[in-house]
Chain A
Amino acid sequence: ETGVTQTPRHLVMGMTNKKSLKCEQHLGHNAMYWYKQSAKKPLELMFVYSLEERVENNSVPSRFSPECPNSSHLFLHLHTLQPEDSALYLCASSPMGGGGEQYFGPGTRLTVT
């Protein structure tokens, strides 16, 4: 595998379910990000991890819970989501100090029913 991978690619879940999104980067980067992409809206930064430490939480509801066990892996744990949370969730990574040079995964298309 190369670059940034994300699983699953598609996810349908009910509002009472618990699921997790997984991201893995094979680039040796030290920073990882979660973004939400909705139609007709700019990419919204959700969380930033630098050297496995969360450095930014962009006022994201607690029903989204990130986890970064090491510099190569990032998870987004989901529980009791709302239909408006349906979106494309993108993971990205960047080298330390290279915040603008981000490498994105293909995303997980999430539908909340």
Chain B
Amino acid sequence: QKEVEQDPGPLSVPEGAIVSLNCTYSNSAFQYFMWYRQYSRKGPELLMYTYSSGNKEDGRFTAQVDKSSKYISLFIRDSQPSDSATYLCAMIGTSGSRLTFGEGTQLTVNP
């Protein structure tokens, strides 16, 4: 069983739609949760960083963590064509420096 499960998509939505991206995980030691965005021919860039359960909002993006269900989500409101990218969830425990990534979800927002 993979430590982190993420639906690879591809996901295609019209401009203005609300997008929901999700990951589940099995390791209860994970404490910090991240979403990275990767545009084509670029490296991943950190988009959201959350600790423990709850919501964190940054502009059109909301990251949600439910540790009891081992489930994290990224919501994108009013999606734009510029949001078209691969979104990678990642998580890490309190000890060590090893990030564990999901497979990534490829998102296309159509104008």
Chain A residues near B (Cβ < 8 Å): 4, 31, 40-43, 45, 48, 50, 55-56, 90, 92, 94, 99-107
A-B contact count (CB 8 A): 58
Q: 12 A–B contact pairs at CB < 8 A? A: A4-B43, A42-B102, A42-B104, A43-B88, A43-B99, A43-B101, A48-B97, A50-B97, A55-B97, A99-B96, A101-B46, A104-B44
- Complex Cα distance A103/B91, Å? 15
B13 located at the interface, meaning its Cβ lies under 8 Å from any Cβ of chain A in the complex = no
B44: nearest chain-A partner, CB-CB: A104
Given contacts A31-B97, A42-B4, A100-B91, 5 further A-B contacts (CB under 8 A): A43-B101, A90-B43, A99-B92, A99-B97, A106-B42
Contact at B43–A104, with CB atoms within 8 Å? yes
Question: When A100-B49, A102-B46, A104-B45 are in contact, do A41 and B103 touch as well, CB less than 8 Å?
Answer: yes
A-B pairs with lowest CB-CB distance, top 3: A104-B43, A99-B97, A43-B101
- Complex Cα distance A40/B102, Å? 10
Please, which residues of chain A bring their CB within 8 A of the CB of B32?
100
B107 located at the interface, meaning its Cβ lies under 8 Å from any Cβ of chain A in the complex = no
- Complex Cα distance A3/B104, Å? 23
- Complex Cα distance A70/B46, Å? 25
Please, which residues of chain B bring their CB within 8 A of the CB of A99?
92, 96-99
Contact at A102–B103, with CB atoms within 8 Å? no
B63 located at the interface, meaning its Cβ lies under 8 Å from any Cβ of chain A in the complex = no
Contact at B101–A42, with CB atoms within 8 Å? yes
B65 located at the interface, meaning its Cβ lies under 8 Å from any Cβ of chain A in the complex = no
B74 located at the interface, meaning its Cβ lies under 8 Å from any Cβ of chain A in the complex = no
- Complex Cα distance A107/B88, Å? 16
Most B CB contacts (10 A, CB to CB) among A4, A43, A105, A106 go to: A43
